[in-house]
């Protein structure tokens, strides 16, 4: 409000990166979700400032989802799928030290699922942006984002419980590092 859209976005981005730096110095690690947030906000800020266009301001939403899709997809086949990392950070979920085929498969699959959710969201938001006025698009962006996140989370929780039960595993939690 005081300095306009560009100043607001730069300020928000600077605050998030300041939090990343403080967390790194104080605790020695930065949660993946915070890193993802900082990277996405940086992408959005650069896009908005570089163009100054309302179209490109709105384009940040599908582009951010596309970036998240790529980020999740890149880790899905590796040793540490992003969903496994986030589960360890956010709910302090401990996994067996040598891994477990059922859990490993779940975390890889859930990471692919989230890549798909973000891909579908990016495509849906791009389509909405093409046919809806800016105000309607912004309202629908919130609905699509929140709805996709809730649906994905509920699906993953049910899927995880099923995997744990089938494998005969017991779920334990520990205090997250730095808390």
**pLDDT tens for each residue of 75-98:** 998 888 988 888 877 766 666 666
- 21-62 pLDDT, tens digit per residue, is 998 999 888 887 788 888 888 987 887 788 777 677 788 788
Tokens 């890193």, residue? 35
CA–CA separation, 46 and 92 (whole Å): 33
59-68 pLDDT per residue, tens: 878 888 898 8
pTM more than 0.85: no
Nearest to 87 by CA among 23, 173, 178, 179: 173
Alpha helices in the chain (DSSP H): 5-27, 32-51, 54-76, 82-90, 101-131, 134-167
Q: Map out the domains of the chain as residue ranges.
A: 1-52, 54-179
Q: Is 6 helix (H, G, I), strand (E, B) or coil?
A: helix
Neighbouring-strand partners of residue 149? none
The Cβ of residue 122 has, within 10 Å, a number of other Cβ atoms equal to 21
Residue 116 reports pLDDT greater than 80: yes
């Amino acid at each position: 409000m005081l300095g306009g859209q560009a100043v607001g976005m730069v300020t928000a981005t600077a605050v998030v990166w300041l939090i990343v730096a403080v967390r790194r110095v104080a605790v020695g690690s930065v949660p993946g979700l915070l890193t993802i947030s900082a990277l996405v906000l940086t992408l959005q800020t650069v896009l908005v400032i570089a163009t100054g266009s309302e179209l490109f301001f709105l384009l940040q939403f599908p582009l951010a989802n596309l970036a998240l899709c790529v980020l999740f997809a890149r880790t899905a086949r590796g040793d540490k799928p992003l969903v496994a990392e986030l589960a360890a950070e956010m709910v302090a979920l401990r996994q067996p030290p040598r891994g477990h085929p059922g859990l490993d498969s779940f975390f890889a699959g859930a990471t692919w699922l989230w890549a798909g959710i973000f891909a579908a969201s990016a495509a849906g938001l791009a389509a909405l942006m093409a046919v809806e006025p800016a105000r309607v698009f912004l309202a629908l962006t919130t609905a699509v984002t929140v709805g996709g996140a809730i649906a994905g989370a509920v699906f993953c929780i049910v899927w995880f419980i099923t995997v744990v039960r089938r494998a005969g595993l017991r779920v334990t939690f520990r205090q997250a590092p730095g808390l």
